[in-house]
Chains A and B, each alone.
Chain A
Amino acid sequence: MGDTPQRSAHAGTGGITVATGHEWAAGASARVAETPGNPRTPVDNGMGGGGALPRARSFGAERAFRGLTLAAGTAVLVIIAAIAIFLIARAVPALRANTENFWTYEGWSPNEAQPKFGIGTLAFGTVLSSALALLIAVPVALGIALYLSHYAPRRLGTALGFLIDLLAAVPSVVFGLWGRDVFINPVRDFSAWLNEYFGWIPIFGGDGPFGRSIMLGSLVLAIMVLPIITSLSREVFLQTPTANEEAALALGATRWEMIRTAVLPYGRPGVIAAVMLGLGRALGETIALAMTLGITFGVSFNLIQNGGNTIAANIANAFGEANDTGRGALIASGLVLFTITLIVNITARVIIYRRREFTESAA
């Protein structure tokens, strides 16, 4: 508190003192005048009209606190940079040791004397399972979000929205456990049924065993990202200006027409962002997929046969018996995953920031 009252005392001195040196202007308070030893005389700071203000201390509490917060802010950037740097540093030796092409080789045996590993099949599995999960989850999630925001009674909608938020917090390992202990049975029956009647379509072909397949993994993933997409889109739908909705209804639109013409266009950027965030979560999901996929290496569009693998699931599965090169190889695959999710997230954020400007200018 010491410095600010002085500041107000100087405030009245204006610019006169700059010319008069040690002479205090009329506005200076007696208290300041009584302390001739004050080093911060106006002439010292050599400034212009505001020169009577005390110079900020070169090291005060204000400066220190500001520096502290600046350091904390910089830490975020440092962490992101450090993630990239350390992953690259550990990945490069393993990539040098790789005797096969990292992008195209189908297999993962980095622990041998001749390390061979390739990211191709894993990246394919990651993208395939995430894409399928979103394909299933997005329409359902939007349906629930619309139900909660525009169809359900308000009180029920709020309560169920709260419940959906809670489900978004359930750890992925629980979904993984449920997927491999419980959900696998109906999925296996369904796969066998699909294979029997639609086996002529390549994605439902093969002759078993069924169950721990891309389909199970994608369905579990879909169930996991469902609450996230639902809760984000519900918020966006609830923000639709009431005036727009009422205008549509007043023009004689049915409820669905009101949703199509007022709610969906308004919410589109928000929904896209929610889907992208869900995609980011699906791409990075580790444990649930490590527990539900039947880990194999190979590019296959078959959805129902045992198999499938993703980058993250492979890291969790292969980490236990990895040696030094093996760890490096896994870190290299993690780097690829990091890059993919970074691109997805940055795209989502750019969309959100654009929308923010859009809604602010609209309001």
Chain B
Amino acid sequence: MSTTVTTHRPRPTAQPTTLRARRLPRYAAPLIALAALLVAAGIVYGTGIGGPVLVVVVAALLYLAGLFAAANAVEGRRAARNRTWSALIHSAFVLAVLPLASVVWTLVSKGVERLDGNFFGTSMNNIGARDPNGGAYHAIVGTLEQVGIATLITVPLGILCAIYVVEYGRGRFSFAIRFFVDVMTGIPSIVSGLFVLAFWVLIVSPMVNDGRPGFSGFAAALALSVLMLPTVVRSTEEMLRLVPAPLREGAYALGVPKWKTILRVVLPTALPGIVTGVMLAIARAAGETAPVLLVAGGGAAINVNPFENNQSSLALFVYQQAGDASKYSPARAWTAALTLVALVLVLTIAAKLLARRNRLGR
């Protein structure tokens, strides 16, 4: 296209000022904002219907209206619309940042109160309503064991399932698996908890347990693996699809059987991406409260055996402490929440950084 523009036409003789659309001066927007703020303060305090928050809200509305009117008069309707939407989009951003920033700020400021050795070294055993001590050692043990067992179950199962879908599966059956893995992503955590409650705690484990329902950390791990499985399968599937075909073909050409090609060539190539997916799944599972509440029961004492008796977890600890009437329990809840968020965020950030270094990329 660039080669065709060679003819020089005479410039139109119109005045340069009419070539450019008229624009609002730079100082117009702050000026309108200031005026809106003053008018809003006048209205709100004059009628006495609210405080500073209402002033800001009314001022924002007035600013939008004023900006639209001014731009409409000077620049025309289309530019006015552009300016108004732009202001709306920016304010949506501010509106959403406020609560999210408040969450982070509260978490840190309230969480550091009990961030001491005692918190990480003791359990809630024999801690009454008047005891300021007590900690989350048992909950941390529970979280690590439950998530660990869930990972041990999910990772082989998920990777094998993804290999089937990508490498072997054909036609309707494979499509059905992919579709239901996607659907499984949306299963509420409480439903997976109820499933394990109905299946493991109330039906299977009483058979070996003299008929008593078997609440245990292992049951929680089962529920968590139902939640982790779709995430692992999906991320592995995507990564396997990204492995370049020439790598596979090269292996086949050397006479390597398909299963060995998958295990020795395809999987190692896709490994960083798979690890990322697994870490994101672990981060999600570690934060789940509802399934642990239903099938592990929670407990105040340290229980390192995941196969017998109640176990707690960090998320469940937060929930139980928040429901506790003791005046010391909110501090414990916030510190546990901070610990949990730190754990989850470290996993998530590590996973994202790993994904960024991944050679396959997206």
Chain A interface (Cβ < 8 Å from any Cβ of B): 1, 3-5, 8, 61-62, 65-66, 68-77, 79-80, 82-83, 86-87, 89-90, 139-144, 146-147, 151, 162, 165-167, 169-178, 180-183, 193, 197, 223, 226-227, 230, 254-257, 259, 277, 280-281, 283-287, 290-291, 312, 315-316, 319, 327, 330-331, 334, 337-338, 341-342, 344-346, 348-349, 352-353
Contacts and interface: CB of A to CB of B under 8 A. Distances in A.
Contact of B257 (A61, A165, A284): A61
Contacts of B160: 68-69, 71-73
Given A76-B177, A151-B89, A175-B103, A334 B190 contact: yes
Contacts of B107: 174, 178
Contact of B322 (A76, A141, A176, A348): A176
Contacts of B79: 254
Interface residues of B, number: 98
Nearest to B194: A334
B95 A140 contact: yes
Interface string B312-349: 00010011001100000010011001001100110011
Contact of B81 (A144, A256, A312): A256
A312 B190 CA distance: 7
- Residues of B contacting A: mostly: helix
Contacts of B78: 254, 257
A318 to B, nearest CB: 11
A169 B283 contact: yes
Given A90-B202, A181-B106, A286-B188, A257 B183 contact: no
Given A8-B255, A79-B229, A345-B185, A316 B92 contact: no
A127 to B, nearest CB: 14
A79 B226 contact: yes
B24 interface: no
A177 B188 CA distance: 20
Contacts of A330: 194
B181 interface: yes
B188 A283 contact: yes
B50 A193 contact: yes
Contact of A170 (B184, B263, B287, B288): B287
B194 A331 contact: yes
B290 A89 contact: no
B200 to A, nearest CB: 9
Contacts of B88: 143
B54 to A, nearest CB: 8
B352 interface: yes
A349 B255 contact: no
A281 B191 CA distance: 12
Given A89-B198, A147-B90, A173-B289, A341 B337 contact: no
Interface in B96-117: 96, 99-100, 102-103, 106-107, 110
A173 B287 contact: yes
Given A162-B352, A183-B99, A80 B184 contact: yes
Q: Which of A166, A176, A180, A330 has the largest count of B CB atoms less than 10 A from its CB?
A: A166
Contacts of B86: 151, 255-256
Contacts of A257: 78, 81-82
Interface of B: 49-50, 54, 78-79, 81-82, 85-86, 88-93, 95-96, 99-100, 102-103, 106-107, 110, 156-158, 160-161, 163-165, 167-169, 173-174, 176-177, 179-192, 194-195, 197-199, 202-203, 226, 229-230, 233, 255-260, 262-263, 280, 283-284, 286-290, 293-294, 315, 318-319, 322-323, 330, 333-334, 337, 340-341, 344-345, 348-349, 352
A169 B345 contact: yes
Contacts of A176: 319, 322
Given A77-B177, A83-B187, A181-B330, A171 B198 contact: no
Contacts of A285: 188
A174 B318 contact: yes
A72 B230 CA distance: 12
Given A77-B177, A223-B99, A342 B318 contact: no
Contact of A284 (B188, B230, B255): B188
Contact of A255 (B82, B102, B284): B82
B122 to A, nearest CB: 21
Contact of B180 (A77, A86, A165, A334): A77
Contacts of B198: 86-87, 89-90, 331
B163 A169 contact: no
B161 A73 contact: yes
A201 B319 CA distance: 35
Contacts of A3: 257
B191 A338 contact: yes
A227 B99 CA distance: 12
Nearest to B200: A86
Given A76-B180, A177-B334, A254-B78, 17 more contacts: A1-B260, A4-B257, A73-B164, A79-B229, A86-B198, A87-B195, A87-B198, A143-B92, A151-B86, A166-B345, A167-B100, A171-B340, A173-B337, A287-B290, A316-B293, A337-B190, A338-B187
Given A72-B164, A75-B157, A341 B188 contact: yes
B103 A197 contact: no
Contacts of A143: 88-89, 91-93, 96
Contacts of B191: 83, 87, 284, 334, 337-338, 341
B261 to A, nearest CB: 10
A142 B106 CA distance: 26
A74 B258 CA distance: 21
Contacts of B173: 73
Contacts of B257: 1, 3-4, 61-62
Contacts of B286: 171
A169 B287 contact: yes
B93 A144 contact: yes
Nearest to A223: B99
Nearest to B291: A286
A139 B92 contact: yes
B229 A76 contact: yes
A62 B258 contact: yes
Contacts of A254: 78-79, 81-82
B106 A182 contact: yes
Given A90-B198, A166-B345, A349 B319 contact: no
Contact of A80 (B167, B183, B287): B183
Contacts of A175: 103
